[in-house]
Structure 1
Amino acid sequence: MTWKILSSQQLMKRPPFLEIEQQQVEVRPGQIVDDFYQVHLMDFALVIPFLEDGRVEVIRQYKHGPRREVLGFPAGHVDPGEEPGPAATRELLEETGLAPAQMRHLGSYVDHGNARVCQGHYYVAQGCRRAARPDPGDLEDFAYETLTPQEIDAAIKAGDFGVMHHVAAWGLWKIHNS
């Protein structure tokens, strides 16, 4: 059964990054939740970049969510009006300077089951070659590492990947390649 939104009140709006709303929701006939909250962030695209030799280029950087330096894959916002596939290719080029021979979509998933938050679009890029100098922007300081798939598995087990989206992307890739 689909929940029915009876009313919605916007509590905060900071375009294009954040919106918070309070909803009154009927979850089943006669059962109403007066203060159900939804948080909306911008959707994102994340890319696992495989180089021509089968290794993967990863980024080491500080992330404010886990409050530490972590490993991750190129990722960023899908801009308003932009499609996820081109956003993934753009982010890959901006953050690493890599261009893929082939991009494959691994799936799109909502970040939080009830609050929604955002939707992540996951991709794998095969046959990546250096096409430009990385230009990640002024808020991001990157160090680059090239790892084998086995080294990525070990880094995930060691907790070096501190953001779940990146761990999930690797799991999606492994499922699609088993």
Structure 2
Amino acid sequence: MTWKTLSTKSLLNRPPFVEVQQEQVEIKPGHVVDDFYQIRLMDFAVVIPFLEDGRVEMIRQYKHGPAREVLGFPAGHVDPGENPETAARRELLEETGLKADSLVQLGSFVDHGNQRVCQGHYFVAPLCHRVTEPNPGDLEEFAYEALLPSQIEAAILSGEVGVMHHVAAWGLWKLHSQA
């Protein structure tokens, strides 16, 4: 059965970054939840960029969520009206200076089962070439590391890859590459 939203009240709205809503939801006939919260963030794209030598370009940077420096792949918001592949290509170029010959979509997934929050779009770039210097913007400071797949797996297991979206991207790529 599909839940039915009876009413929605906006509690916080800061477009395009975040919106928090309180919904009154009928989850089954006669059973209503008066305070079911929905959190909406911008959708995002993550891309795993393989270099010509088989290594993967990774970014080491401070992330405020885990409150520490972590390794990750190029990633960022899908701007309003932008398609996810375009966002992935844009983020790849901005954050690393790399251009992909092609992108393979690994899947798109809702971030949270009940609150939705946002949708992540996952890609792999099987062959990338450096075409310019990175230009990630003034709020981000990056260090770059080109790692072998086995080094990435060790970094995941040791906790160096501290954001689940990047761990998920690698897992999706592993599943896709074995298919």
TM tier, shorter chain? over 0.9
Corresponding pairs, count = 178
CA RMSD, 1 decimal: 0.5
Shift of 1:89: 0.2
Indicate the residue corresponding to 1:16 in structure 2.
16
Shift of 1:102: 1.3
Indicate the residue corresponding to 2:65 in structure 1.
65
Counterpart amino acid of residue 62 in structure 2: Y
Indicate the residue corresponding to 1:174 in structure 2.
174
Following TM superposition, the consecutive aligned residue runs of length 4 or more in structure 1 with deviations greater than 4 angstroms are none
Q: Summarize the alignment of residues 27-176 of structure 1 with structure 2, pairs less than 5 Å apart.
A: 27-176=27-176
SS at match of 2:70: strand
Distance in 2 between residues matched to 1:61 and 1:40, nearest whole Å: 25
Shift of 1:156: 0.3
Shift of 1:8: 0.5
Distance in 2 between residues matched to 1:132 and 1:113, nearest whole Å: 39
SS at match of 1:46: strand
Distance in 1 between residues matched to 2:23 and 2:153, nearest whole Å: 41
SS at match of 2:50: strand
Deviations 1:81-128 (A, max 9, x none): 111001100000000000011100000001000011110000001110
SS at match of 1:76: strand
Shift of 1:37: 0.2
SS at match of 2:126: strand
Deviations 1:50-100 (A, max 9, x none): 011111000000000000000000000001111100110000000000001
Indicate the residue corresponding to 1:2 in structure 2.
2
Distance in 1 between residues matched to 2:7 and 2:79, nearest whole Å: 28
Distance in 2 between residues matched to 1:29 and 1:173, nearest whole Å: 42
Counterpart amino acid of residue 136 in structure 2: P
Could you tell me which runs of 5 or more consecutive residues in structure 2 were left unpaired when the two chains were aligned.
Answer: none
SS at match of 1:106: strand
Shift of 1:29: 1.1
Distance in 1 between residues matched to 2:169 and 2:31, nearest whole Å: 37
User: Percent of aligned positions with the same letter in both sequences?
Assistant: 70
Distance in 2 between residues matched to 1:59 and 1:98, nearest whole Å: 13
Counterpart amino acid of residue 145 in structure 1: E
